[in-house]
Amino acid sequence: MTVWPDLKDESFKAGAFRIATYIAWWILMFRLSGAIVLVMSLMTYTSYQFKQLQSYFITLANIFQQDLSQLEKERKYEEALKIGIKLHVDVISVTRKLVTTCNVSYGGEIIVNVIVIATIMIRLANEDRNLTNILASVQIALTVLGITGFYMWTLGDITLEAD
């Protein structure tokens, strides 16, 4: 809520200012939401790259179950292993670039989420306890916890698959 215009002010200037404020607010919200979605998409993409790489290395054992001579099996395994190592280097390179690119976003998201949760706790302690206030606070808290959980889940997958 802005200081000006007053809620009872229905002049053209007040209405235009309210519209401009809402437009500016939604532009900021779309940019922030877009950044969060982009970072989460990149994290999910990287996580699945590691999962695909892991499944590639698991399928290398199938080479020794083929009907080939031992020398051909070893040569085929060696070629596939070289490809797997190159893929692993590529995935590690992508991960380093992702960390470099999104490092500020990760830290900023966690700081904002902690501040929002602290603000909600203060708000719940100081406001009237009616159903509307509690439901609004619970909705915001669940959203923040969901976003934080998704960040932790995806980054945990990347860490687990990278091992």
pLDDT for position 1: 58
Would you list the domain boundaries of the chain? Answer: 49-162
**Contacts with 102 (C-beta within 8 Å, 6 or more apart), sequence order:** 39, 42, 43
Residues of the chain with pLDDT under 50: none
Nearest Cα to 114, choosing from 94, 77, 155, 144? 144
pLDDT for position 115: 94
Q: How far is CA 52 from CA 8, 91, 159, in A?
A: 60, 10, 14
